[in-house]
Amino acid sequence: MTSAIATSALTKRFGKRTAVDVIDLDVPQGSVYGFLGPNGSGKTTTIRILLGLAAASEGTVHLLGERMPDGASAVLPRVGALVDGPAFHPYLSGRDNLVRLDAADRTATPADRRRRIDAALERVGLAAAAGKNYRAYSQGMRQRLGLAASLLRPRELLVLDEPTNGLDPQGTREVRHLVSEVAAAGTTVFLSSHLLSEVDQMCTHVGIMRSGALVAQGSISTLRSALATRLRIDTRAGDDAAEVLRRFGLRNVAADSTGVTGELGGAVPEDVVEELVKSGVPVRQVIIERPGLEELFVSLTGEGFDVDE
């Protein structure tokens, strides 16, 4: 099965600055792929190249099996996209903006245009404000209209660049629901975000960008399993507890004033606790710390999650 998006050694240079540095994206069909990275790490530039808006300096892009940008006219009608925020004509209504975009698509059928536009507006909760001028829209409504534009036709791939930008918590939840709905219908979703929690909640796969390079890529469960689960015991007898943990083969055991932690490895937590109690270690609390994306990110980059240069 071909990948929905596949790039090979994709590179983009602006003068001396390398914005995208030899990345090999592989987005499996049917996945919800989170393209994660701090602001300025090259996500939007990559998306622009994927969609044929910008030319790659080196490397190749295949979208739904078609070589880009040569196959743009054949493949882009099957792709919906939201890139770098919504953009519409301010003096046209939301609906007229969608009519205009649909009229630009020579492969769209005008006969059911109204129905498709109404359905898209309904889907993003914008039906009531469809007749208002775009300039009167709030940031959240603009974002919704951008999503509606990407859903004007059934798509095989949705590319959503920061889809929850500017949305309130309710809107964010609705987008999450929308993404899962679209994904359930079989559409591959490629969504970029700088919000770890967002990707954690929505995605099956993740690619992590850092300063233009793709530092990690794979299914979330695979990436997570590469990280060690840690066992934390809160106790005032830290040294005794550490002794027990070492006996069970836990690695990197470290004691501090409130307790002790160690990498669980193959040990069974229940057995460890039983042994602790038998050894007379007073256990106040036992926590199994499964690494989240945040820990994953830090472990991969050795850095925090700030704006890239």
Partner 1 sequence: MSTSELIGAPAPAPTRTALPGTFLASELKLVLRRRRNLGMLGVLVAAPIVIGLALRASSSSGEGDGDAPAFLGEVAGNGLFLGFSGLLLLMPFFLPLAMSVVSGDSIAGEASAGTLRYLLIVPAGRGRLLATKYASCVLFGLITTVLVVTSGMVTGAALFSAGDVTLLSGTTIGFGETLWRALLMAGYAAVLLGGLAAIGVFVSTLTEVPVAAMATVAAIPVLSQILGLIPQLSWLHPWLLTDTWSVFGDFLREPIMTEAIGRGLLTHAGYAVIFLSFAWARLTMRDITS
Nearer to partner 1, 65 or 131 (CB): 65
Contact 216, 207 (CB under 8 A): yes
Q: Which stretch binds partner 1 (CB under 8 A): 87-95, 206-214, 245-253, 280-288?
A: 87-95
The binder of partner 1 chosen from 8, 11, 26, 87 (CB under 8 A): 87
Nearer to partner 1, 105 or 263 (CB): 105
Total chain residues near partner 1 (CB under 8 A): 49
Which amino acid is residue 178, in one-letter code? L
Q: Which stretch binds partner 1 (CB under 8 A): 100-108, 206-214, 220-228, 260-268?
A: 100-108
- Token pair of 255 as six digits: 């004691």
Query: Apex CA 173: angle with CA 172 and CA 174, to 5°?
Result: 90
Residues 269 to 298: which contact partner 1 by CB under 8 A? none
The binder of partner 1 chosen from 22, 108, 119, 253 (CB under 8 A): 108
Q: Binding string, 193-232, against partner 1, x = CB under 8 A?
A: ----------------------------------------
Residues 112 to 171: which contact partner 1 by CB under 8 A? 149, 153-156
Nearer to partner 1, 107 or 197 (CB): 107
Instruction: Tell me phi and psi for residue 188, to 5 degrees.
Output: -75, 135
The binder of partner 1 chosen from 85, 125, 166, 269 (CB under 8 A): 85
Nearer to partner 1, 107 or 279 (CB): 107
Q: Binding string, 43-82, against partner 1, x = CB under 8 A?
A: -----x--xxxxx--------xx------xxx-xxxx-x-
How many residues are listed for the chain in this entry? 309
Least distance (Å) from partner 1 to the CB of residue 211?
19
Least distance (Å) from partner 1 to the CB of residue 215?
25
- Token pair of 141 as six digits: 């409504």
Nearer to partner 1, 156 or 240 (CB): 156
88 is a contact residue toward partner 1 (CB under 8 A)? yes
39 is a contact residue toward partner 1 (CB under 8 A)? no
User: Interface residues with partner 1 (CB under 8 A)?
Assistant: 1-2, 29-30, 48, 51-55, 64-65, 72-74, 76-79, 81, 83-85, 87-92, 99-101, 103-110, 149, 153-156, 185-188
